[in-house]
Structure 1
Amino acid sequence: MSAIHPLSDVQTNSIGVNTRIWQFVVILPGARIGSDCNVCSHCFIENDVQIGNRVTIKSGVQLWDGLRIADDVFIGPNATFTNDRYPRSRKYPESFAITTIEAGASIGAGAVILPGVVVGYGSMVGAGSVVTRDVPPKTLVLGNPARVIRQLDEAE
């Protein structure tokens, strides 16, 4: 059974078992969220968002159309995802870029992920980094723009 705080606005019926959704979270009707997830307070999840199992989304995160999050992903507080490289007021693209966060990846607090990138499985994006291109699997990236610092070993 999922736990949905009464002060949240959850419009989707697609939420897996044992997922916890805290107060002041808004989830639109088309979103799909897996099992055993934790969506902390003050988050927003748009319609065309798919979230896997055992995902942690810390406070202050907005997930926009086109985002695909695999299993066992950690998203730190106030991480920012974008889905339109050239946004204009009241002018929308025919479709939004697909951004993929692969299994086991971690996104640090305050990191910015530009649209259309792939953050590889098991990789780690350091806090405050700006990801402008794909992140290889099992790597640590840091900075603005984010650059590969090193490969991660199996224990990390």
Structure 2
Amino acid sequence: MIGRILNFARSRIRKWLLEEKWLEDYIRLGMKVGEGCSIQPGVVFDYSHCWLIEIGNSVTIAPEAYLLAHDASSKSLVGFTKIGRVVIEDNAFIGARAIIMPGVTVGEGAIVAAGSVVTKSVPAGAIVGGNPAKVITLLSDYKDKLLTSVNTSPQFDLAYTLSQCPTLEKKQEMITKLQNNMGYIV
């Protein structure tokens, strides 16, 4: 009985730590979030300065990305904490585990690759990646490359996604067809 109570208490504490602060809390404190956004679980917004964060319309932020509006590394050096606005413009995409530093604007339609550390603003329509993030290509060039690739690569419909509970045969087919190349869900 005591073990079940402790497990319940641990699960409630874990839920509070991981889920308690969510969009409604940040918005109430002044963070701006546009319409039609897809903000995945585990995204971390700078709670202490969240009113400096502005997210446009139709923005996607992948799991475990960080948006930071302050940088306390300056505190021990000069006695002050550096702060800056973070603006994610319409239709931008922030990849999983990307870090957006204070004072950065991610331009309209830009893509930030997973795991990138963005220390400077990203131009509209650019794709950036790395640490520190640098422009890799432009969205228009990437789109052309994708359209060529999708026509020569394996394609799968929604029956191959978790939402449709794919059969073991479908899963194995996907594994086989993607052995040495990329594919697409259409």
> Which category of TM-score, normalised to the shorter sequence, fits these structures?
0.5 to 0.7
Q: Aligned with 1:153: secondary structure?
A: helix
Evaluate the alpha carbon distance shift between residue 115 and residue 150 of structure 1 in structure 2; reply closer, same or farther with a 3 A threshold: same
Root-mean-square deviation (Å): 3.0
Would you tell me which structure has more strand in proportion to its own residues? 1
Highest Rg: 1 or 2? 2
Tell me which residue corresponds to 1:50. Answer: 32
1:147 matched to 2:134: yes
Superposed counterparts of 1:20-35, under 5 Å: 24-27=19-22, 31-32=26-27
Contiguous gaps of at least 5 residues in structure 2: 1-11, 144-186
8 Å CA contact 1:135–1:141 kept in 2: the answer is: yes
Evaluate the alpha carbon distance shift between residue 24 and residue 92 of structure 1 in structure 2; reply closer, same or farther with a 3 A threshold: farther
Give the % identical residues.
34
Superposed counterparts of 1:106-117, under 5 Å: 106-117=93-104
Q: Match for 2:37: what amino acid?
A: V
TM-score in terms of structure 2 length: 0.57
1:74 matched to 2:60: yes
Tell me which residue corresponds to 1:37. Answer: none
TM-score in terms of structure 1 length: 0.67
- Structure 1 stretches (4+) deviating beyond 6 angstroms? none
Give 1:30 shift.
Answer: 6.5
- What is the CA deviation profile of residues 62-91 of structure 1, one whole-angstrom value per residue up to 9, with x for unaligned ones? 2221110000000000001111123559x9
